[in-house]
Amino acid sequence: MKNAQAKNAPYHRMLKGPISNKVGSMFQTKYRSEFMGCVYTFAGKDRIDIMLRRPRRNRKNEVVRSQVRETNLSVDNLIYPLFVVDGQNHKSEVKSLPGQFRLSLDHLLNEVESCLKLGVKCFDLFPAVEESLKNHLGTFSYSKENFYLKYITEVKKRFPEALIMTDVAMDPYSSDGHDGIVRDGKIVNDETLEVLGRMAVAQAKAGADIIGPSDMMDGRVEFIRNELDEAGFSNVSIMSYTAKYASAFYGPFRDALDSAPKFGDKKTYQMDPANKREALIEAELDYLEGADYLMVKPALCYLDVIHMLKEEYAVPIAAYNVSGEYAMLKAAAQNGWLDYDRAMSEMLLSIKRAGADVILTYAAKEYAMLCAKIAQ
């Protein structure tokens, strides 16, 4: 290497002595190379000091670890899903989802209040609807008699500072248990959009801040955006379930709402778990159609998809840490196989590290309580 080159090389150091076979083989034909973060210059049989960089120095105590931490998870990043039912003084635990309950309005208001005190400010409400109120077209979803709409209004009236997200899909209201209208055993896409649009406007009128279309019908984001704008709700956001996979991890959620399909499965509209690049197609469509957030669901098995969308799009990326992911962690902890608080925190951190700006998780309140405990 010429002297001029050596002087300009960052972290330049002349090294002396014999080179080990392993390290030497990497450098014998090079005069300048990066190794463990430094640029080294050597000639002939000079020795390379490979311990100049010691990564452990940046892990030596908690102050340093906190200082250089690349990913920080805050309660502000979390949305808490809550299940609601009609009635009074009703609070029943979902057996397959320990610690999560179906709540009537009085208990819902109490839960929102306690969460707000912990710093959890955003809630996603999901209705458990009586079977007698369901029909082929899911018309109860936008009925003035729908308790779900009344609950949204009451929560916003009592706690205007709370951010309320709502679910737009037919399955809680459909007698078929699917996210779209069923005709001749098939899910009809375009006709379903009319129902979703009416549902979204009804929720916005009730006070929803964020509409969450979880149905996976083609074109629904644009249709809903147009319906909201025409009804005067241009400030209501859309968090699209962009890459929602036909996953095995939804079981406890469907138990909570009794919303499992009455026949078949959802593979004709939810995504194939084998596909990654297909998520880019869905993301591009949702982005162009006006989605304010792009969501990946589930989260843990799809961290690569979360990361990919974060790299490709400037809008916020959301991830749904779904019921099955939460339930398996709870089951392992109940059997003494895992430290729940540590495992839960690591799980959420991994989702944030992958690129999620927002995480929907049943552990939102527990994480907030843990943060409050640590802060004491």
Residues marked active site are found at 244, 297
Contact (CB, 8 A) for 243 and 295? yes
- Number of Cα atoms under 13 Å in the Cβ half of residue 207: 20
Contact (CB, 8 A) for 161 and 129? no
- What is the Cα–Cα distance from 10 to 349, expressed in whole angstroms? 34
Contacts of 189 (CB under 8 A, 6+ apart): 180, 217, 218, 219, 269
Which structure tokens are listed for 187?
């899910």
Contact (CB, 8 A) for 266 and 179? yes
- What is the Cα–Cα distance from 253 to 55, expressed in whole angstroms? 43
220-230 vs 189-206: helix axis angle to the nearest 10? 40
Terminal-to-terminal C-alpha distance of the chain: 58
Name residue 138's amino acid: G
- CB-based contacts of 346-349 (< 8 A; 24+ apart in sequence): 347/300, 347/321, 348/73, 348/78, 348/321, 349/71, 349/73
Cis, peptide link before residue 127, omega less than 30° from 0: no
- What is the Cα–Cα distance from 22 to 20, expressed in whole angstroms? 6
Q: Where are the beta strands (DSSP E) in the chain?
A: 32-35, 38-41, 78-84, 91-93, 101-103, 122-127, 163-168, 181-183, 186-188, 210-213, 237-244, 293-297, 317-321, 358-361
